[in-house]
Structure formats: structure tokens, C-alpha cells
Amino acid sequence: MSQIEFYIRVVKALDEIAAPYMIVGAFAGLSFGITRSTYDVDLIVDLKSYHADLLSARFPLPRYYADPDMIRDSMQQKVMFNLIDTKEGAKADMVPLSREPEYRLAFSRRIRRLVNDGAGNTFEAWIAQPTDIIIGKLEAWTEGRSTKHSADILQMLVFDFGGFSTHQIDLDHVTRQATRLDIDTLTLWQDLVERAKRDVQKR
């Protein structure tokens, strides 16, 4: 089982036990124009105590490590936890919503969508809207200045401006959030918007 296959299995298990979750980051962005072949699958979860037992039952020992007490402790302490496939070495990281309060608005407006896993297979999942994916990427860029985030944002903007997206990016909202981060992030965002407009006009 590949890393991505394991992630998909975890997502499907969350659906089966009716555990609220949201996929964010580049994997969610595949539905909105991101085309790179390598990405992490980032999951924000809002689990109750009983979800820990239900989730653990779907990933039993000895192959899997999904200890229900560990999951409950992580939720209470607001720290990231993971499920591990010990046979394949695959791991799914999950971040409690309580640890990332800035995601609450995005979580409240997450959307149900048919997602492509990058290998041509599709499945339904809860993902963040493109506006919120971009805000998360701007925050990540602010922290580490990685060009992968700015490249992802540019692709999403071109996809939207080209009329291919089913969910339009709220440019004003993203601008307000970029302003909140710092002047460099705001400048980057404004530059990416202008570059995307030029790219679309050339086509």
C-alpha cells in the first residue's frame, strides 16, 4: 500500500465513522489547478472521544498503530497525532482543529468534492475551498519562504481566472489575510495575482 493509498483509506475511514475532517494543502488543491506530482496530505480533524475507538478498530494491531488512548490524549492536548501502517511504513498525520483555531472558518465552509488522487483514481472527500487553501499556503510561505507554495498559488489563480474552477477565489479576503501576515507576503500575493492575469491573457 502506497503512502497516498493509505491516506485515502484513512479519509474513507473518517467518513465511515462520521468524524469531521478537512483535507488542506496541495492535495486539496489538486481539484483547483495544482498540478505538481509530489505533495503531502494534510488533515484537520475534529474528533470526539468515541471516534478514537471507532478509528482504532479500523486499523488494528499488529499491522497498524492507531492507539485510541493516544488519539484521545492528542485531541485533549491539542497536538498532532498519526496513524501508522507498520508493514508499509506509511503514515497519516492528523492535526486537531483545536490546535489550529484559525482554520475554524475554513472548516465551517469545507466542501464535499470528488477528488483525484493523482493516479487517475477518484474518491469523495471533505476539502477546503480554494480561498482557504491559498491562505494556508501564504501562511506556510511566510514561515519558510518555500517556492512550492507560491508556485501552487499561481497555478490556482490561473485555473480560477481561466474560468475552470467551480469555486471562485475571494481575492479581497485573501488580500486581508496576506496583509495580516506581513508586507512581504502581501507583496508576493499581489505579484502572483498580476502574474496570473497576464498568463491568462496570453492564452
| Tens digit of pLDDT at every position of the chain (203 positions) | 578 888 889 999 999 999 999 999 888 998 899 987 666 678 999 999 999 999 999 999 999 999 999 999 999 999 999 999 999 888 888 999 998 888 899 999 999 998 876 667 788 999 999 999 999 999 999 999 999 999 999 999 999 999 999 999 999 999 999 999 999 999 999 999 999 999 999 88
Task: Compute the distance between CA of residue 154 and CA of residue 161 in angstroms, rounded to an integer.
Answer: 10
CA distance 39 to 52: 27
Question: Could you tell me which of 170, 138, 164 has the C-alpha nearest to residue 153?
Answer: 138
If you compute the radius of gyration of the chain from its CA atoms, what whole number of angstroms results? 18
- Cα–Cα separations (whole angstroms), residue 102 to 52, 96, 98, 142, 197: 24, 12, 9, 15, 29
Q: Could you give the CA distance from residue 142 to residue 181 in angstroms, rounded to a whole number?
A: 7
Cα–Cα distance between 81 and 73 in angstroms, integer?
A: 9
Give φ, ψ of 37 to 5 degrees.
-90, -15
Q: What is the pLDDT of residue 41?
A: 75
Its sign, for the CA torsion 66, 72, 74, 78, is positive
Query: What's the confidence (pLDDT) of residue 3?
Result: 80
pLDDT for residue 190: 98
- In 3D space, the residue among 8, 27, 61, 17 whose CA is nearest the CA of residue 148 turns out to be 27
All three cell numbers of 42? 494534510
pTM, rounded to two decimals: 0.89
For residue 151, give the nearest of 183, 195, 120 by alpha carbon.
195
Residue-level pLDDT at 39: 65
Give the per-residue pLDDT at 120: 72
- Three-state secondary-structure class, residue 160: helix
Backbone angles phi, psi at 127, to 5 degrees: -130, 160
| pLDDT recorded at residue 66 | 93
Q: Residue 164 to residues 33, 56, 112, 136, 139: CA-CA distances in angstroms?
A: 8, 39, 18, 21, 25
Rounded to whole angstroms, how far apart are CA atoms 30 and 36? 8
Phi, psi of 111 (to 5 degrees): -125, 150
